Amino acid sequence: MDLNRNKAEPGNFELAKAGSGGSETVQAEKGIGQEVDFLQTSIRNRLSEFEQTGVKTESDIRAIDPKADFNRSELAELEHISGRAKIEALKAEQSLQSIKDQEALDVNVEQNALAENETKENPVLAFFRQQEQKVSGAQYQPLEWKQEHLNVYETLAATHGPFVEIGGPTTEGFEQVDIKALDGKFFTSNIESDIPEFDKSGNIVGKEKVDLQSDARILPFRDSSIGAVFASNLGSAKYNKRILDTGEIRRQAIAEASRVLKDNGLLIWEGGHTEDFVYADEAGFQLIQFKLEMGLNNQPRYNCILKKLPAKS
């Protein structure tokens, strides 16, 4: 009989490094409960060494070691040692269990907090999602900038300063707007120097020159120098999705528009995505009016007019 034999050598969790700070972080990510389970099992196995050699009667002792002939004091000592082993194992079991229970509780609290955060949608986004639900499934309707409720003319007439179309020129959109109402110069800006000109069917029929070759995210204008900025379908350009079809670029373009616009200047945003309102909110715009339609594939598209609010002093 070899009482020093250890059945459950801890190999899986690199316990030799315990306390050295070596692998705690990695193990914590794996899950404390899993490792504590392993520790509890190892201790139980160790204790079973005593239970298998349990000292109850003299005949038990003889069964273990026939040559032994124990006296009462020796028997009492063996029982005492065996009892102490049980107590130590039980104490460890309880301590480990309390660590495991506390961790389960903490994880539960953490998960509840995460779930709560997920359900707390951005209020701007929540509002527009609600609007989209109202019209979901509606027939596709081509965008019309001359919608009365958009009131583009009146709104533009009230602005002062140059008008810039970013990502232009477009064949639709601002071309239908009477730019004579504007009191400043008109620029088209595009990341390309020559952009394709499309016919009504979407076929390229030629090339159009732009006034300024620039990225919508880095416009060549001073701060607070522009009266109005117009953009059409910036998030879904017909021929350059590789560059423009991302929310992050729309966010940066909206922030840049905010930079170049004068206080109370307008951002006229055609074919916008739902998230664009969150970006506009972050950039300090106020929504004046919007029109929502469910486009192809039931994707929401917005035409809207946003006003740059004066910076709070």
- Do 252 and 271 contact (CB within 8 A), yes or no? no
The smaller minimum CB distance to other proteins, of residues 92 and 135, is found at 92
Identify residues 86-125 at the interface with other proteins (CB under 8 A).
Answer: 88-89, 91-92, 95-96, 99, 102-103, 106
Phi then psi for residue 230, to 5 deg, are -120, 140
Nearest by Cα to 167 from 276, 243, 75, 82: 243
Say if residue 196 is preceded by a cis peptide, omega within 30 of 0: no
58, 74, 132, 275: which one binds other proteins (CB under 8 A)? 74
Contact characters 43-62, other proteins, x per CB under 8 A: x--xx-xx--x---------
Between the CA of residue 140 and those of 135, 147, 175, 236, 295, what are the distances in Å? 11, 16, 22, 17, 5
The smaller minimum CB distance to other proteins, of residues 89 and 219, is found at 89
State the minimum distance, in angstroms, from the CB of residue 113 to other proteins. 13
- Do 307 and 281 contact (CB within 8 A), yes or no? no
28, 218, 243, 309: which one binds other proteins (CB under 8 A)? 28
State the minimum distance, in angstroms, from the CB of residue 111 to other proteins. 14
Between the CA of residue 166 and those of 92, 144, 183, 257, what are the distances in Å? 69, 19, 19, 9
- Do 210 and 188 contact (CB within 8 A), yes or no? yes
Q: Which residues bind other proteins (CB under 8 A)?
A: 3-4, 6, 10, 15, 18-19, 24-25, 27-29, 32, 35-36, 39, 42-43, 46-47, 49-50, 53, 64-65, 67-71, 74, 77-78, 81-82, 84-85, 88-89, 91-92, 95-96, 99, 102-103, 106
